[in-house]
A and B are shown apart, each in its own frame.
Chain A
């Protein structure tokens, strides 16, 4: 082994790169008998001994002072922005003179305050660009949700009254999934929004998002742990489909959980299940986006179409509205919905969403924490 080979090998080994142990031993032997190479080795040892130049002892303090000042400024800006928005909403409600709207606003104002306070008072302000924006978006979402909720509830009530039939609206019982506490919903009824939201979401520490009314599940099945949402009767040519496994679920309020054949076509996000009459029901995989990646909703097994997806049995539901101790917030998505990761294995890649996400969210209406895995 010549000098160049020996020194290159030692340099790579110093950097933790994999090297052949036999070659490394040869390089060491060479250096022991070569003055020039031994000088090289001594130089590296000396350089390692003195280390890099040390910064002034107060530099980290100065950095943190600047960071804290930035955080405080961002926090102030967020508060002022929120106050302005709140004033605008109040003014709009007053101007409209709509008594119903005013009642809704008055009833929910404490919810807004409760949601904002822990995030701002209980801990130092976080990364401003993300957290402050998320808070602003949350407030905007809340306001939109309040305004929209009355209309949605009215339309929903009319729809339920008019709907004649099929399976989804025939069994609007509340969540029966694994990590959900018992709810007060009765079969055939739509529970009152506020009390049910509290009993469902808050009991599971679901206050991380703004509280949203819990409604009947739109219908879900789980296939190999991934959740698919019911689309209703499908019109696809059944001869183009192939068998893709079995799912055990009840497709109506009167049916016991029964194995049903799952069929698939060319779109990997769509599945089809035949009901007892032979009609095909379509299901679409539930997905969300975060940081440029696609995530699939996972769940404990759902044996009833009206059950809401819930955390897998291996994941304990949080005991606190901020996800503690199961989850830690890692940011917000583009809609301002807070995104969490597992505290125990943050590198797993899975993300979690708290109950009460807004109407635009794929987890809307779900009173449970949900876990989402990265798409392959």
Chain B
């Protein structure tokens, strides 16, 4: 989804040198994953947009301290996750409980809108730890080892959480998977 590319490295270096156009390219390339993570965290589009704004301002301010030893997307994931948690702690936004959401549309998944609604509902219903791991790997394109380092857990645990999340999504979409 949001793999760091050679372009990211060049754009990051240029942005560090004061090139706002390069920074804008980073914003446009990676805003979708930041937004998706935040939306799945809070379940509210307004909160997600606030998170996106805050994340990019933080990135802009701290860009000089980013030393390229990790991938840009790994750093972006860290900033995004921390911003969501910070806003939660500061009570700026609270996640909308999943059980008060409308029932997801189910059944005809040939309809992309219905499928997306069901998928996002299932994403919101995931345990936060599993969703974090899935977001790191599937949205921010981190390896299990990178995600484990960011989340402070072993890579094997990331693997387990990602699989558990995927299986839960499959169940929620009425596609049962696995027997354990």
Residues of A within 8 A of B (CB): 2-4, 7-8, 11-12, 15-17, 36-37, 39-40, 42-44, 46-47, 49-56, 59-60, 62-64, 66-68, 70-71, 119, 123-131, 291, 293, 328-332, 341, 343, 346-347
Contacts and interface: CB of A to CB of B under 8 A. Distances in A.
Contacts of B64: 127, 129-131, 330-332
B18 interface: yes
Contacts of A63: 27, 31, 52-53, 56
A47 B178 contact: no
B177 interface: yes
B143 A17 contact: yes
A341 B60 CA distance: 19
B96 interface: no
4 closest Cβ pairs, A-B complex: A126-B18, A40-B177, A130-B64, A52-B36
A36 B53 contact: no
Contacts, number: 189
A216 B47 CA distance: 61
B1 interface: yes
Contact of A40 (B15, B65, B139, B167): B167
A44 B112 CA distance: 14
Nearest to A64: B24
A347 B14 CA distance: 14
Nearest to B113: A50
A175 B8 CA distance: 39
A36 B17 contact: no
Nearest to A291: B67
B16 A126 contact: yes
B35 interface: yes
Given A53-B36, A63-B52, A127-B18, A43 B177 contact: yes
* Interface residues on chain B, size class: 35 or more
Contacts of B143: 15-17
Contacts of B17: 123, 126, 328-330
A312 to B, nearest CB: 21
Contact of B13 (A43, A125, A346): A346
Interface string B23-52: 110011001110110011000010011001
Contacts of A53: 35-36, 39-40, 116, 120
Contacts of A39: 170, 175-177
Contacts of A328: 13-14, 16-17
B159 interface: yes
Contacts of B19: 123-124, 126
Given A37-B177, A40-B178, A43-B169, A127 B52 contact: no
B144 interface: yes
B61 interface: yes
Contacts of A12: 144, 159, 163
Nearest to A56: B49
A114 B172 CA distance: 64
B63 to A, nearest CB: 4
Contact of B176 (A36, A44, A119, A341): A36
B166 interface: yes
Given A39-B170, A50-B115, A55 B52 contact: yes
Interface in B66-101: 67-68
B9 interface: yes
B115 A46 contact: yes
A15 B67 contact: no
Nearest to B56: A63
A130 B16 contact: yes
Contacts of B10: 346
Contacts of A330: 13, 16-17, 64
Contacts of A119: 18
Nearest to A12: B159
